[in-house]
Copies of this chain bind each other. A is one copy, B any other.
C-alpha cells in the first residue's frame, strides 16, 4: 500500500482489525518506528476527532507532526490543467504537493465535498491531486467521497462488540438541518461489503447513495422493517445524491429513539446533533458506542501510519 485513500486500499480488513486491536493494547510498542519521520496534516476543513486522533496516533509511533489549516494559513490552490492563473488561486496543486513532499514523509489531507458540483466532488480533485503529484504517501482524513479512517475505526468497534458470527448491521439515515456530505456513509458501506454480516441500508426515497457503491447492498425504505432484530444501528445524515447536495426531508420520524433501537448497539461518527439525529436517551444510555468509536480513531490512524512507515 502506498496511499491510504479508500477502505479498498486495505488488503485484508479482517487482519487489519485484528492488528489494530493488538496495537490498542500497547500503543507505544512501535514508538521507534516513526523516529525522525514527519507527518504533515493539511486541513481544508474543520476537524476535532480526526485532528487529535491522527496527531495522537503519530505520537504513539514517535513521529513529528506538522499541522496546517490550508484555508486561512496557506494559499488558495488551483487544480485545473493549463489554467492561466490570473484569478483567485495563487498556487497550483502540482507545486503544493511536490513542495510538501520535501518537508514530510507522509501527508494527510482533509477536504470535504462542496456539495455544489457533483462531478468535481466525485473526481476528488484535492486528495487525488495530492496523490498524483506528491512524491510521498497520502492519507485520506475525509475527502469529498470517503472517510476511510472512520470506516476502519468503525470496523474495529464492530469487532470489539460483536456477540455473534454474522451480526445484523443497519445503516439508518437521520434528519439534519444542513446539507452534509456522503463521505462517512460511503466508506461505511464499502467497509460493510468486506464484512460477513447481514447489512441493510435504510433511508427515505430520494436519499439513495451513489448506486455504484451500494451495488449488491440491501436497501429498505421502511425504517421499522430495516431495524428488526438489528445488532448494530449506525445512524448518519447525508444530503441527497441524485438531487445533489439538496436537503429533501427533515422528517424527525427518522430520528433514532431508544424504542426503535431496541437491544441494538448505537453507532455514529460524531459530531452528532442531539434530538435530531438521535434522542438523548440513546446517547446517554449503555448501548451507545460513539465514544469507543472516537477512541478507535487513534488505532485506525495508527495502523494506517504503521503500514505506511513499514513500507517507506
Which of A40-48, A111-119, A154-162, A201-209 contacts the other chain? A40-48
B48 A91 Cβ-Cβ under 8 A: yes
In the A-B complex, the 10 residue pairs with the closest CB atoms: A91-B271, A85-B273, A102-B295, A52-B103, A84-B275, A99-B294, A48-B74, A86-B177, A98-B291, A56-B103
| Known contacts A90-B273, A273-B85, A283-B95; A52/B75 CB under 8 A | no
Q: How far is the CB of A40 from chain B (nearest CB, A)?
A: 7
**A33 part of interface (Cβ distance < 8 Å):** no
What's the Cα separation between A102 and B48 when bound, in Å?
A: 12
A31 nearest in chain B by CB position: B36
| A28 contacts chain B at the CB level, 8 A cutoff | yes
Q: Is the CB of A85 within 8 A of B274?
A: yes
Asked if B82 and A298 make an inter-chain contact with CB atoms under 8 angstroms apart, the answer reads no
A219 sits at the interface (CB 8 A): no
Number of copies: 3
Contact of A68 with B95 in the complex, beta carbons under 8 Å: no
Residues of B within 8 A of A38 (CB): 56, 59
18 CB contacts below 8 A, A to B, read A28-B36, A46-B73, A48-B74, A48-B75, A48-B99, A52-B68, A52-B103, A82-B280, A84-B276, A85-B273, A87-B177, A91-B272, A94-B274, A95-B270, A99-B294, A102-B295, A102-B298, A103-B298
Residue of B nearest to A35 (CB): B28
- A83-B275 contact given A56-B38, A73-B69, A95-B270, CB 8 Å threshold: yes
Residues of chain B contacted by A194 (CB below 8 angstroms): none
User: Interface readout for A29-70 with B: 1 if CB under 8 Å, 0 if not?
Assistant: 000000010101001001111011101100100001010110
Please, which residues of chain B bring their CB within 8 A of the CB of A177? 86-87
Contact of A72 with B by CB under 8 A: yes
Question: Of residues 93 to 109 in A, which have CB atoms within 8 Å of B's CB atoms?
Answer: 94-96, 98-100, 102-104
* Cα of A86 to Cα of B90 in the assembled complex, Å: 37
Q: By DSSP majority rule, is chain A's interface helix, strand, loop, or mixed?
A: mixed
A193 within 8 A of B: no
Assembled-state Cα–Cα distance A68/B78 (Å): 26
Q: How far is the CA of A177 from the CA of B3 in the complex (A)?
A: 36
Residue A92 at the B interface, CB < 8 A? yes
Report if A290 contacts B (CB, 8 A): yes
Bound-complex Cα distance A69 to B291 (A): 22
Q: Determine the residue in chain B with the shortest Cβ distance to A81.
A: B280
List of B residues within 8 angstroms of A272 by Cβ: 91-92, 95
Q: Pick the most buried of A83, A84, A95: most chain B CB atoms within 10 A of its CB.
A: A95
